[in-house]
Amino acid sequence: MAIQTEIIGLPPRSRSHLAALRLGDFPLIPVLILGTIALVAIFANVLAPHNPEIGSLTARFKPPFWQTGGSTKYLLGTDQLGRDVLSRLIFGARISMVVGITAVLFAGVLGTTLGIISGYLGRGIDQVIMRLTDTWLALPALTFAIFLAAIVGPSMWNIVLILGITYWTRYARVIRGEVLSLKEREFVRLAIVAGCSKWTIMYRHILPNVINTAIVLGTLELGVVIIAEASLSFLGIGVPPPQPAWGLMLSDGKQSLMVGRWWLSVLPGCCIMLMVLSANILGDWLRVKLDPQLRQL
């Protein structure tokens, strides 16, 4: 079968993804964590015991329930405005998930499209896109995101846009490289002979062959983007208050750290860490399974 596909120049029959994802070293715990965070994000309205944005000033700085002074009414304590920390963490999961996933998708679509166009059309367009990519790569991504966020002002969707246009370069680079070798393959040549237009070839024949790579890059990028969002919110130019973004909670908690109110900054940090760590482990695993070429990354 393998020999035959070589001879008639068809693309390698795409093995069923499930077969490629042989279980065994499947990262179960990270997937469970990400799944739980996703469920919490979806059902935040049902799960959160209190309103995340409105607190009661009489109940400020309550510690978690197991410490003296804590109560089961506020399981993980309250913040400087008397808002329930648990509810804020739950709604914060929604913000991190939405920002993380949409920003990665946006960056992925932008980068993959540019990578395919650059690799397939070549020549002048390739030069222009790759120089642009190089320049973008040369800029410190976070500083650039900070710069953009500072001029457009804080808002959740601005952050998605900013992170999208900051982090597309890696997709463009890697995918262009793949396209360069794909376009020399027989099945692409056959498509040209068969009279397919350039756009049809890029969409129908090239795209399905690079999509695995894009998925792997996207998973690996998810952690980076979540940390970037948290950093921007931490600096006060990300998701605006009173929305309960984890990065914002950390920055609010910073002031009361010195008097030992640890729960205000340690807990949101733990959430960020769990999510990013899980995304990174999953991404590493997918990289090895779906795309052996990316192993050296």
Closer to another protein at the Cβ: 148 or 210?
A: 148
Site for another protein in 220-239 (CB under 8 A): 223, 227, 230-231, 234-237
Phi/psi zone of residue 61: left (φ > 0), alpha (ψ -120 to 50 degrees), beta?
left
What token pair was written down for 124?
């002048």
Kindly state whether residue 280 participates in binding another protein, applying the rule CB under 8 A: yes
By CB under 8 A, which span of 14-22, 191-199, 208-216, 273-281 interacts with another protein? 273-281
Q: Cβ neighbours of residue 230 under 8 Å, at least 6 residues apart?
A: 96, 238, 245, 246, 247, 250, 272
- The angle, 0 to 180 degrees and rounded to 10, between the axes of the packed helices 85-121 and 123-138 is 150
Pick from 216, 214, 209, 250: which is nearest to 230 by CA? 250
Q: How far apart are CA 146 and CA 153, in angstroms?
A: 10
> What track of x and - describes contact with another protein for positions 123 through 142 (by CB under 8 A)?
--------xx-xx--xxx-x
Closer to another protein at the Cβ: 209 or 293?
A: 293
By CB under 8 A, which span of 36-44, 68-76, 198-206, 254-262 interacts with another protein? 254-262
Q: Which of 10, 54, 150, 288 touches another protein by CB under 8 A?
A: 150
By CB under 8 A, which span of 13-21, 57-65, 147-155, 183-191 interacts with another protein? 147-155
Residues facing residue 78 across a β-bridge: 84
Pick from 93, 117, 113: which is nearest to 105 by CA? 113
Q: Which residues bind another protein (CB under 8 A)?
A: 131-132, 134-135, 138-140, 142-144, 146-148, 150-152, 223, 227, 230-231, 234-237, 250, 253-254, 257-260, 262, 265-266, 269, 272-273, 276-277, 280-281, 284, 296
